[in-house]
Amino acid sequence: MPGTPAEEYAPASLYTEVQQFYARQMSLIEGRGADPDAWADTFTEDAVVESAADEGPDVGREAIRASVRAGVAHIAAQGWDFRHWFGMLDVRPQHDGSLRTRYYALAMATERGGALEIRGSLLCRDELVRGPGGRGWLVRHRALVPDGHTGA
Amino acid sequence: MPGTPAEEYAPASLYTEVQQFYARQMSLIEGRGADPDAWADTFTEDAVVESAADEGPDVGREAIRASVRAGVAHIAAQGWDFRHWFGMLDVRPQHDGSLRTRYYALAMATERGGALEIRGSLLCRDELVRGPGGRGWLVRHRALVPDGHTGA
Amino acid sequence: MPGTPAEEYAPASLYTEVQQFYARQMSLIEGRGADPDAWADTFTEDAVVESAADEGPDVGREAIRASVRAGVAHIAAQGWDFRHWFGMLDVRPQHDGSLRTRYYALAMATERGGALEIRGSLLCRDELVRGPGGRGWLVRHRALVPDGHTGA
């Protein structure tokens, strides 16, 4: 990754499935009916989420669940409408049927009665695997690098 | 909506048609050659457009036409380049061949010689139906909820 | 362009190829491993890049290469993480197998340790042709119009 533009493209069916997966996944932790448990369930049991901005990764679905619950509760307490936009998606099918994805994310929030604020931009890389019964997708690994981060 | 990520995905052909429909639809009211009448014609005759920020909905294509004409005239009078970005699109085919979509929109404007200003973010839900002769799409219902709105 | 929304849509395979082409192309000049030479090689030898904001177009791949090298060196010297987001993509297949595309771009930068800044929005139109051996895509013509520009 990124490789060159002439390398093989993911088939349209996979590419649009991933676009829909992300739209549905991120909607689960946005808005007034946010459901952080359902969001955690879009990760495999042994999933890892790591960010270059944080001390250590969340290892395992239950650690991810605890983190997202805290994040969603914080956002709700502030009264923000929070949105995640993903864009510039690249999808690389792997020989074992998993997918490697690369995309950018914008995190934005609007206060009740306030103006939109874009919080930042991130470079994201996921490993996705098929869900139970071969349906849908689950995240096995998510690595986030916030733009402007000062770490190594 | 949103349902869970593992629910069935729209086929790639439908998903990319909707992406193109929106790109073409919104370009009709953007830029110096804006054509609000052509935009109004992307709605069914009995279409409804409602926003949580407005008093009442626009009911019927002619009411939608009057609103969009006024909006486009206002933007032109200000000399803004106005853009609508749609993202995080989800598409749910219905049994009757119509589509339910959910997406986010960013409204942004740039003054002649000025800087880009992002006006706000919206949560949007559409009902789309096939156009005349089964070609293309028309909006039968559009519901907009601006982020940060203080209504019910 | 833009034509009406009911006109024929590009097939899903072409549409998603172009989405992936752009994601891969733009990633080549972003981030700490930027490779402006690889980016220049995504243009045909006789490609033209023109912007309504600039004096004259870059004519030919080598002129494009010189410009992008200078741009990437400038961004690196500032220590910015720079991102290009493309959105609202429309793709029109031509009879000769080439594609005409229309899309918006957002240019954004984050300083090391700083906040995201959106630099501006552009209207972009490309002509894409098949790469060597019929694989991948190359840009033969790119025309950029920055929003808010005061030229003709």
Q: Is the pLDDT of residue A123 over 60?
A: yes
Q: How many domains, in total, are found in chain C? A: 1
**Whether B2 and A137 lie within 8 Å, measured CB to CB:** no
CB of A15 less than 8 A from some CB of C: yes
Confidence of residue C1 (pLDDT cuts 50, 70, 90): very low
Whether the Cβ atoms of residue C103 and residue C87 lie closer than 8 Å to each other: yes
* Residue B67: inside a domain: yes
* Residue B2: inside a domain: no
**Whether A7 and C13 lie within 8 Å, measured CB to CB:** no
Give residue for tokens 């953007």. Answer: B30
| pLDDT value of residue B55 | 80
* Residue B151: inside a domain: no
CATH code at position C82: 3.10.450.50
Q: Is the pLDDT of residue B2 over 60?
A: no
What ipTM score was computed for the predicted complex, to two decimals? Answer: 0.94
**Whether A86 and B88 lie within 8 Å, measured CB to CB:** yes
CB atoms within 10 A of CB A115: 12
Query: Exposed, middle or buried by CB within 10 Å (0-12, 13-18, 19+), for B97?
Result: exposed
Q: Which residue of B has its CA nearest to C148?
A: B112
| pLDDT value of residue B32 | 79
- Residues A46-54: what's their mean pLDDT? 93
Residues C16-33: pLDDT tens digits? 999 999 999 999 999 878
* Residue A4: inside a domain: no
Distance, in Å, from the CA atom of C103 to the CA atom of C20, rounded to the nearest integer, reads 14
| pLDDT value of residue B35 | 96
* Residue A152: inside a domain: no
Domain that includes residue A45, residue range: 10-146
Q: Three-class SS of residue C39?
A: helix
CB of A34 less than 8 A from some CB of C: no
**Whether B24 and C2 lie within 8 Å, measured CB to CB:** yes
| pLDDT value of residue C129 | 97
Distance, in Å, from the CA atom of B149 to the CA atom of C20, rounded to the nearest integer, reads 35
Query: Percent of chain C, pLDDT > 90?
Result: 84
CB of A12 less than 8 A from some CB of B: yes
Q: Is the pLDDT of residue A1 over 60?
A: no
CB atoms within 10 A of CB B91: 24
CB of B67 less than 8 A from some CB of C: no
Min Cα separation A92/chain C (Å): 10
CB of B35 less than 8 A from some CB of C: no
| pLDDT value of residue A2 | 53
Give residue for tokens 């839900």. Answer: B125
Q: Which residue of A has its CA nearest to B105?
A: A85
Min Cα separation B56/chain C (Å): 27
Q: Over chain C, what is the mean pLDDT?
A: 93
CB of A20 less than 8 A from some CB of C: no
Tallying the residues shown for chain C, one arrives at: 152
Residues B105-143: pLDDT tens digits? 999 999 999 999 999 999 999 999 999 888 889 999 999
Min Cα separation B45/chain C (Å): 16
**Whether C27 and A88 lie within 8 Å, measured CB to CB:** yes
* Residue B4: inside a domain: no
The residue ranking higher by pLDDT, C50 or A6, is: C50
- DSSP characters over B65-113: HHHHHHHHHHHHHHTEEEEEEEEEEEEEE-TTS-EEEEEEEEEEEEETT
C-alpha B146, offset from chain centre: 13
For residue B19, the chain C residues in CB contact (below 8 A) are 15, 89
Distance, in Å, from the CA atom of C58 to the CA atom of C71, rounded to the nearest integer, reads 13
**Helix or strand holding residue A74 (H, E):** helix A61-78
* Residue C37: inside a domain: yes
Residues A64-122: pLDDT tens digits? 999 999 999 999 999 999 999 999 999 999 999 999 999 999 999 999 999 999 999 99
For residue B135, the chain C residues in CB contact (below 8 A) are 6
Residues C95-136: pLDDT tens digits? 999 999 999 999 999 999 999 999 999 999 999 999 988 888
* Residue B1: inside a domain: no
